[in-house]
């Protein structure tokens, strides 16, 4: 199998376009948001659903290919990813780590700056409280971006991570943080 490399054409300067990622090996959420001045604008969002009938390695390949397609279609200038939370199930945490690693690799190979935000920070930024429920975060994402419908949980979380990056004072000043 050949490794597929892509070149992402990025607009530098005025309009940041952030790809937010909510990693998962079964449902991998992504959302693209841009900021013009102080206004946040929804570009696109979705969920990569790898087939559950194949091997775990095949799921990771599906995530890679899905992310490559998103990068090609939306040409983000930055990537933000939700940090790992500590789960009680070690096997689930390991699988999440593998999916997250694929995302980091794909985005790093594309030359994109990557920032990481803990789930509590994302909830605080979008919903006003670090312990906000998933439904509350999704509803606030809908309101902030002016969406007609509440996005599904994984896509809403990805959009929330993108919004967090766009709202980050260090990012607004030009700095970016790598995981």
The answer to whether residues 100 and 64 touch, using CB atoms and an 8 Å cutoff, is no
User: Which residue in 58, 64, 89, 154 is the catalytic one?
Assistant: 154
SS (H, E, C) 23-60: CCCCCEEEEEEEEECCEEEEEEEEEECCCCCCCHHHHH
User: Which residue in 64, 82, 116, 168 is the catalytic one?
Assistant: 82
> Does 64 qualify as catalytic in the annotation?
no
User: Which residue in 22, 64, 116, 168 is the catalytic one?
Assistant: 22
> Does 154 qualify as catalytic in the annotation?
yes
The answer to whether residues 22 and 29 touch, using CB atoms and an 8 Å cutoff, is yes
Rounded (5°) CA angle 143-32-98: 115
Q: Burial of 157 by CB count in 10 Å (0-12 exposed, 13-18 middle, 19+ buried)?
A: buried
> Does 89 qualify as catalytic in the annotation?
no
The answer to whether residues 72 and 6 touch, using CB atoms and an 8 Å cutoff, is yes
- Report, as residue numbers or ranges, the catalytic residues: 22, 82, 154
């Amino acid at each position: 199998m050949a490794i597929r490399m892509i070149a992402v054409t990025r607009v530098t300067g005025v309009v940041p376009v952030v790809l937010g990622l909510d990693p998962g090996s079964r449902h991998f959420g992504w959302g693209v948001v841009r900021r013009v001045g102080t206004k946040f604008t929804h570009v696109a969002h979705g969920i990569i659903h790898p087939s559950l009938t194949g091997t775990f390695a095949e799921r990771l390949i599906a995530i890679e290919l899905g992310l490559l397609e998103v990068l090609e279609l939306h040409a983000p200038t930055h990537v933000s990813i939700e940090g790992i939370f500590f789960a009680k199930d070690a096997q689930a945490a390991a699988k999440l780590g593998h999916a997250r690693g694929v995302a980091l690799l794909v985005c790093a190979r594309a030359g994109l700056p990557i920032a990481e935000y803990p789930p509590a920070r994302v909830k605080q930024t979008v919903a006003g409280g670090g312990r906000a429920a998933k439904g509350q975060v999704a509803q606030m994402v809908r309101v902030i971006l002016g969406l007609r419908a509440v996005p599904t949980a994984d896509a809403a979380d990805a959009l929330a991570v993108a919004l967090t990056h766009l709202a980050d004072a260090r990012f607004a000043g030009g700095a970016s943080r790598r995981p």
